[in-house]
Amino acid sequence: MEESRERDVALTAARDAGKLIRDNVNQSKRVSTKTSESDLVTDIDKRAEALIRNHILQAFPDHNILGEESVEPGTEGLTHALAETQEARHSWIIDPIDGTTNFVHGFPFFCVSIALAERGELKLGVVYDPIRDEWFVAEKGKGATLNGEPIRVSQEKALSESLLASGFPAVARGRSKKDNGFFDLRREVRNIRTAGSAAMLLAYVAAGRLSGFWEIDLNVWDVAAGVLLVEEAGGRVSDTLGRPYDLSVRHILATNGLIHDHTVNALKKTGTTGFE
């Protein structure tokens, strides 16, 4: 079946990219910046994306591919690439290393993220952690798994009992009003974690390790696979104002569903939606 073949290609591509990343995590890397000093890219990012592209195009030469390292930095490049992705019959959305800054510093929290969408609707998501050898896989309507075992979101119903996660956008140095809101929100929940990989944190929401995750100014390749994981594990995904998710959403909220509306209200109250 075509769906089985797509899944196999995604898993093979993620496995080979993961091996490349794992083999080079403690090696010297050629590092350059994109939009800021905290928005990094390495030679391994580029090699891993090329490897994934090769796997996909060998199997599906007519499929569209949206990869982080193939999009020109800036709003114009992203808008054009996203329009093509939403219109394409089949479009792969890949982040060869989600958590590049962690990878550069040897902080072991990064992953390969591969998603497949049909005319803008997510149907397959794979997040592979090559350090822990953890495979998070979701298929539309078939649930989500971790290393082949079904996973479900957590069951916290109150923010005061919830562990949330977030991240800071790759912007110029200096504290903003949004940063202050982050610390205001800390008072509403059990605690907040930041770890530098949106795809991994979304996978952790799907696996019940986190109650929820939000972040502003993300790109579609950061979250596409993780979004499907959360939804297929029984959670809920929206923008930070609570509106339905689509591939154009950049200010994202994903939770176990039980705390979703409470979290939206808390984000609005503390000024951390990104829409202020």
φ, ψ dihedrals at 233, nearest 5°: -90, 5
Q: Which strand ranges, in their side-by-side order, compose the sheet holding 111-118?
A: 64-67, 91-98, 111-118, 121-129, 134-139, 143-146, 149-150
Residue with tokens 């689509």: 246
Token output for 85? 């992705």
Residue 20 identity (one-letter amino acid): L
φ/ψ region of 160 (left if φ > 0, alpha if ψ in -120 to 50, else beta) reads alpha
Neighbours of 43 (CB within 10 A): 13
Cβ(150)–Cβ(168) below 8 Å? no
Active site residues: 68, 95, 97-98, 100, 222
Neighbours of 182 (CB within 10 A): 17
Question: 249 to each of 118, 223, 246, how far by Cα in Å?
Answer: 17, 10, 6
Alpha helices in the chain (DSSP H): 2-24, 43-59, 75-87, 100-105, 177-186, 198-206, 220-232, 260-270
Cβ(226)–Cβ(216) below 8 Å? no
